[in-house]
Structure 1
Amino acid sequence: MTNQPVVCGTSRIVGCNISLHPMTDNFLNIILGTLEKVDTSRVWMKTDDVSTCIRGKAHHVFATAKAILAYASTHEVHVAFHATFSIGCPGDTAGDAYMEADDSVPNKEQVREVADSIYVGSQFALYPMNEPNYMGLIYDAIGTATKHGTYSQSKHYASRLDGSIEEVFHSLEQTFTETSEKTSHVVMTFHASVHSPSHSGNELEIRGSAHVK
C-alpha cells in the first residue's frame, strides 16, 4: 500500500471547536445559559461533554464565538475560553454547515456594548498548513494585529493579544481571513482569560468603560 499525499481542501466552510470554563461552582448554568442566549441561526452548532462545534461562513462563526465569550463574561467570574478555528480541512464537506445563510450577522449589535467594555488577555497561534512560506504568513498576521493595537508580545508557541473582546476578535477574524486568502488550509488556536485575578489594574484602564453586568 502506498501512502497518498494529503491534499488541502477547497471548501470555504469555517469550523470552530470551543471550550468554555467559568471558574465557579455555578459553571453549568453559566455555560448552558450562555449557549441559550446566543443567536445561532446562521451556524450549525453541536455541543457535547468536551466542546461546542460551530460551522458556517467565517463572519458568522467568529461572531458566534465572540458572543459566547461576551455573554459568559457578563457574570464577572473568571472565565477561560479555548477555541480552534479551521478552514480548508481535507475532510470537510458541505454537510453540517450553513453556507447558504444570508450575510447578516446575528449577535453583532446585541453584544457590542459588552464586547467593547470587557478586557481579555489572550494568545493565538496560526498554522498555515502545507505552506512552505508559513513563517511569512505568521509574521503578516502579527503585523495585522500590531496595526490594530492588540498585539503585545511574542511568547513560546504563541503571540499575545490584549484589549477588549471586540478588539481582540476583530484582530483574530482579520488575520484568519487574510491568511486563508493566501493559502487554502489554515488552523488557528486561541486561548483567552477574562476577569482573571491577575488582571487587576489592567482591565481596560481601559478607556473608562464600566463592566456590563
Structure 2
Amino acid sequence: MTNQNQACTKSDIAGVSFSIHPMSNAFITIIKNALKEADTSKVHMKTDDVTTTVRGKLVHVFDVTKAIFLHAAKTGEHVAFQATYSLGCPGDSQGDAFMEVDDVPLNADSVKDIKQQVAAKFSLYPLGGGDYMDVIYAQIEAMKEYVSVSPAHYSTRLDGEAFEIFQGLEKVFKATADSGSSHTVMTVSISANSPSHKVEGSDA
C-alpha cells in the first residue's frame, strides 16, 4: 500500500508518458519505424499496452519524444500524439541510471530539417504553491517566440512547425521548473496531417 505521507525527495529525473496514434492501416509499421529511427540510448524507455514511458534528463526526454513524433508524422499519415511530462517532487525513485550521460541530444541533427506543420494544445501545471497563474501566463507569452498561440478551452493552442513547437514546449517547461515549481506537469496534444486541417485551410 502506498504511503500517502511519504516525504518529497529532490529529483532531477524527468519523465513522460505518451501515446502515438497513426490513423493508418500501417500503424504498426509506422510506430515501429519511428521507434527504430529515434536514438533512445540516453533514456530509460518502456512500452506497455497503454503508453510508452521515457525517463532521464529533461533534454533527452524531449529529444526522444520529438524524434519519435516527427519520424511518424513525416510519413504523411494523420498522426495524433498525447503526452504528460513531469519533473519534480514527488521525485522519481527509479530509472536514474541515465542521469550520468551528457546533455548532447542525439536526435537533433536527424530531425531538424523535417518540415511538419501541426496543430497542438498544451496545459502547464506548476504544482507546489506560489503565484502559479502568473507563471503560466508568462510561459504562454514565451511560446509566442516560436509559434502562433491562441486561447482554447482548458488549454492553449499552438500552430506551426512541429520542431519549433517541441523546442518551445521544452523551454517553457524548463523555465517553469527553474522558477521554483517543486513539481511541474505539462499535458500536450499534437495532430499532424489531419484531414480537418485541409478542410479548414481550403477556399471551398
Scaled by the length of structure 2, what TM-score is found?
Answer: 0.90
2:156 to 138, 148, 159: 159
Conserved in 1, the CA contact under 8 Å of 2:11 and 2:91? no
Alignment size in residue pairs: 198
SS at match of 1:121: strand
Matching residue of 1:208: none
Task: Give the stretch that moved more between structures: 4-13 or 43-52.
Answer: 4-13
**How big is the alpha-carbon RMSD for the aligned residues of Structure 1 and Structure 2?**
1.9
Q: Deviations over 1:55-95 (max 9, x none)?
A: 11111110101001100012111000011100014151153
Residue matched to 2:11: 11
Residue number among 97, 121, 135 corresponding to 1:123 in the alignment: 121
Query: Which residue, out of 145, 170, 173, partners 2:170?
Result: 173
Report the identity percentage: 44
Q: What amino acid sits opposite 2:11 in the alignment?
A: S
Shift of 1:188: 0.2
Q: Secondary structure at the match of 1:186?
A: strand
What TM-score do you get using the length of structure 1 for normalisation?
A: 0.87
Mapped to 2, the partners of 1:136 and 1:8 lie a distance apart of: 25
Taking a change above 3 Å as real, the CA distance of residues 14 and 61 of structure 1, as seen in their structure-2 partners, is: same
CA–CA separation in structure 1 for the residues paired with 2:5 and 2:137: 27
Unaligned runs of 5+ in 1: 204-213
Match of 1:139 in 2: 137
Q: Which runs of 5+ in 2 are unaligned?
A: none
Shift of 1:104: 1.6
What amino acid is the match of 1:59?
A: V
Once residues 134 and 97 of structure 1 are traced to their aligned partners in structure 2, the CA distance between those partners, rounded to angstroms, is 32
Conservation of the 8 A alpha-carbon contact between 1:13 and 1:97: no
Which stretch has the larger CA shift, 21-30 or 91-100? 91-100
SS at structure 2 position matched to 1:160: strand
